[in-house]
Structure 1
Amino acid sequence: MISFILCLAILICGYFTYGKFVDNIFAPDDRDTPAVAINDGVDYVVMPQWKLFLVELLNIAGLGPIFGAMQGALWGPIVFLWITFGTIFAGGVHDYMSGMLSERHQGVSIAEVTGTYLGHTMKNIMRVFSVVLLIMVGTVFAVGPAGLIVKLIDPSKSGNGGVFSATTTWLAIILIYYFIATFLSIDKIIGKIYPIFGICLIAMAVGVAIGLPLHGYKIPEVWANLHNMHPAGTPIWSFMFITVACGAISGFHSTQAPLMARCLKSERQGHFVFYGAMVAEGIIALVWAAAGCSLYEVTNGLNTGLQAILKDGQSAAIYDVCITTMGHVGVALAMLGVIACPITSGDTAFRSARLTIADWAKIEQGSAKNRLKLCIPVLGVGAILGFGNTLGVLSYTVIWRYFSWTNQTLAMIVLWSGAMYLAKEKKNFWVCAIPATFMSAVSITYFMMAPECLGAFAALKYNTSVAYPVGIIAAILFFALFWKAKSHADQIAA
């Protein structure tokens, strides 16, 4: 348990030290924020700092730091290191920069920000990339909760079962809520209910953290388990880094940060709202990873027990951890968590999709008519994908299978954008360039050997002897391209 406590302490200290270091490099000032200068009463609305923090936490979290961390625990306690240092040096920087760069550019979506610093071609790529990713996330976070609600209320009615099944009925209800939350002012629904669910998410993590030692479970030490404990032998690099995602760094966060960038009263709130929310998410992920490493049977140094419970689905795993560590209170929190958390990521995903398209097409969103023009097609596509899944026409796994890689590739692009911004401003660009280079190696390595990517070819599947060198070479190449662009910008400035 010593390594768990040390990692927890490092995360907390990281917020006050490295987080503040990054904040000082960016240098927030007293200029009017978009919420003050624009304030359209819909998307640009001043909100209290404590509410901004909780809404941002729930925007970026959902079930990500829970299920991703438990999946990451399959590799053993070594995942503690990635969650801790990934959060401080990569995820926190990524979330802070994506939020603050959006704030500095009138709260525009991340696609517009990347275009400003990486060129027009990248802007168009990111526009399409972001909208597809957001609609995919929103759809999955509608279909999943619909099935979970049916399973909790009446397991006999779960499953597809045609147009009028219980699942499709609940999916319709969730999509109607998504439409309302996407259309109305951000402080009308999201600003009111998100803080409540954010507190519940934190309460779940606190309950699990207290329940583990209270019920006699021992959290294994990192130094005693410095080997791959994954039952399938899946390589640590780069699969663990991709799998944990939201618990360390996630490109999805950059699509959510502009929502809060449009609601800051002062730039000086950025450290707490953006970097702070990511650290909080890292702490939540650390707790759930510890649960995954502690509660289940280890056979011959492999996490076979954890693998077995995860095969029953994410809701089953969360339910099991909660009832084991917190009893009946845990059951209530688990039911709330597995339903509310994904829903609260789904509605902001669709809202972000609306705003990304609005920024792209330059459609003002203060008008209800203009919002309807975008809400209807965006939610319409989500409905087609969602109902297609419940009716057996489309596969849930097909919709979701490419999320992990695209998510971390998006994070890589945003970090390079941050590095370019800092370089142009003659500031310490290394805080972004180093994690950007690292994530470039992670993303390309994964793409080379993951079964859903080039690993679909038998010769490349899990072929580390090919993937590792290619990933490293690609990362060096990306850094060289960044350096060339930086040098060119320096010459122009001179």
Structure 2
Amino acid sequence: MYTFLAGIALLIIGYFTYGKFIEKLFGVKDERPTPAYVNSDGVDYIPMSTPKNSLIQLLNIAGTGPVFGPIMGALYGPAAFIWIVVGCIFAGAVHDYLTGMISIRNRGAHLPELASKFLGKVMKHVVNGFAVLLLLLVGTVFVSTPASLLHLLTDGSVALWIFIVVIFAYYIIATLLPVDKVIGRLYPYFGALLLISALGVGIGLVATNAPIPELSFQNFHPEGAAILPLLFFTISCGALSGFHATQTPIISRTTKREKEGRKIFYGMMIAEGIIAMIWAAAAMSMFNGYNGLNEILAAGGPGAIVSESSTILLGAIGGTLAVLGVVVLPITSGDTAFRSARMIIADYLNIAQKKFSSRMWIALPLFAISVVLTQIDFNLLWRYFNWANQSTAVIALFVGSMYLYIARKNYFVSLIPGTFMLVMVITYIMSQPIGFNLPMNISWAGGFIGAAIILVLFFKAAKKARANNIPLEIDVSDWKKAS
């Protein structure tokens, strides 16, 4: 219990200390007009309040990641707590803040456009394809998981395909309509349900004095559970997730002032970390150890853990509400995944999105592809999503590093976690069956050598970019013309 409570305390302290340090390092220009006003179009660029933006951001980035990921990560024992806390404060929240703020400085640009500007034009095409693929995988996965949870919640009385059709219908509406019509109106209520359900489970763990394992040298992780590199891909949302880099530009286009950025981008990542801690603790403590947890996961997956632990801690009614809170998570990330994909493709092809028809002809093919992807094995999709997700995080952290390097600021705050994850990303794809399936010693060597080569190329490009005085932001007077 002490490890669990200390972890949550450290996350909160991290927001007020390291979050403040990152904000000061970046250098807020609160008098500078934001894209919400300069590029207002009534569809994607719309000024919204800080509480509303914060809840939307939390729901956008959360998905099932801070629930299902930590539940699976609980198999690695208390080591999962370390990754959630350290990863969230020093990697994930820095990633989200820099991505959101750099986007604000560049008229709400998405990651492919930022990668093109700061990492080279070739990267625009690479990252564009990578981002759209990731978002399609996210959207598809986040159709399947909430549909399965709802199917469980109704004891199978309602066919699974009915839930899938209903969720797809909602996604189409949310993707095509202006951001304030559906997302802006529903998300505050969804956000309240999410927070209440997570807090309910957390309070239930404390009130029942649940036997949450304590961190120690003897109890660092279960014997035989290899942490590296799998833990960093099992738990992504709640620690570090590249998917967030595709979501923050949605809110960078609705943020009123730069000063709001720490609450919206850094703060909501910390909130996600707290949610991850709660569900990791629940999974570790309620099923007679790791063997019992493994058995339930094998039988019913993470959804079964959510349903059973919620019911045990909160009773039938409270448990149902908690499960609904978890159902909200993937749905409110799935809709914005498709929305982000539409916006990224529109930016890439330079297609204005004010007309409904322009939005529709980009969005509908995305949904058609997603329907096909739902026929692929979920576990296979999830593994590819994990790798694509953390690869995107590496790209976003390197974009942030390049920005800070050109600005002659402390770029190590993003380069260190970016390089760490780069080693993990290369090692993972070289060692896993979804990749090259090579022996671990060869994979580790490839990870370190590959990362070293990329670092050399990064510094070579960074010195050239600084010498050429690449502008860090788009001048406000040029925004309209640029858009």
Range class of TM-score, shorter chain: over 0.9
Could you tell me which residue of structure 1 aligns to residue 379 of structure 2?
A: 397
- Following the alignment from structure 1 to structure 2, what is the Cα–Cα distance between the partners of residues 395 and 9? 39
Q: Per the alignment, do residues 184 and 490 of structure 1 end up closer, same or farther by CA in structure 2, a change over 3 Å counting?
A: closer
Q: Tell me if the contact between 1:77 and 1:225 (Cα under 8 Å) persists in the aligned partners.
A: no
Matched letter for residue 44 of structure 2:
D
Report the equivalent of 1:275: 266
CA shift, 1:361, in A, is 0.3
Shift of 1:490: 3.7
Taking structure 1 as the reference length, what is the TM-score of the superposition? 0.91
1:291 matched to which residue of 2? 282
Which SS does the other structure have where 2:373 is aligned? helix
Indicate the SS of the match to 1:155: coil
Change in CA separation of 1:88 and 1:216 when aligned onto 2, cut-off 3 Å? closer
Deviation at 1:489, TM superposition (A): 2.9
Distance 1:127 1:309, change over 3 A: same
Pick aligned residue for 1:200 from 187, 193, 196: 193
Partner of residue 343 from structure 1, selected from 306, 318, 331: 331
Tell me if structure 1 keeps the 8 A contact 2:78–2:221. Answer: no
Q: Which moved more, 1:221-230 or 1:177-186?
A: 221-230
| Residue 70 (structure 1) shift | 1.1
Give the gaps of 5 or more residues in structure 1. Answer: 158-165
Quote the residue 2:480 is aligned against.
Answer: none
Unaligned runs of 5+ in 2: 471-483
CA contact (8 A) 2:397 2:418 kept: yes
CA-to-partner distance for each residue in 1:321-349, whole Å, 9 max, x for gaps? 11122222432223313432211111111
Q: 2-side partners of 1:319 and 1:480: how far apart?
A: 48
User: Scaled by the length of structure 2, what TM-score is found?
Assistant: 0.93
Distance (Å, rounded) in 1 between the aligned partners of 2:435 and 2:28? 40
| Aligned counterparts of 1:381 and 1:374: Cα–Cα separation in 2 | 12
RMSD: 1.8
Q: Could you tell me the percent identity over the aligned residues?
A: 44
> Among residues 456, 464, 468, which one is paired with 1:480 in the alignment?
456
With over 3 angstroms needed to count, the CA separation of the structure-2 counterparts of 1:296 and 1:482, relative to structure 1, is same
User: Partner of 1:216 in structure 2?
Assistant: 209
Contact 2:313 2:319 in 1 (8 A): no
Q: Which residue of 2 aligns with 1:78?
A: 79
Q: Given the alignment, which residue of 386, 389, 398 partners 1:407?
A: 389
Q: Which amino acid aligns with 2:207?
A: L
Report matched runs for 1:76-475 at 5 Å.
Answer: 76-155=77-156, 166-223=159-216, 225-229=218-222, 233-298=224-289, 303-311=290-298, 312-386=300-374, 389=375, 394-455=376-437, 460=438, 463-475=439-451
| SS class of match (2:363) | helix
How far apart in 2 are the matches of 1:468 and 1:206?
A: 39
Instruction: String of CA shifts for 1:288-314, please: whole Å, max 9, x gaps.
Output: 11112211223xxxx111111222122
How many pairs does the alignment contain?
468
Would you say 1:489 and 2:465 are equivalent positions? Answer: yes
SS of the equivalent of 2:92 reads helix
3-state DSSP of counterpart to 1:248 = coil
Q: Which amino acid aligns with 1:445?
A: T
Summarize deviations over 1:18-71 as a string: whole Å, max 9, x none.
111111111121211000111111101111101111110010002210110111
Aligned partner of 2:37 in structure 1 is: 36
Q: Residue type matched to 1:359 in 2?
A: D
**Residues 156 and 272 from structure 1, CA distance in 2 versus in 1: closer, same or farther, beyond 3 angstroms?**
closer
The Cα shift of 1:234 comes to 4.2
Partner of 1:7: 7
CA drift of 1:226 comes to 4.2
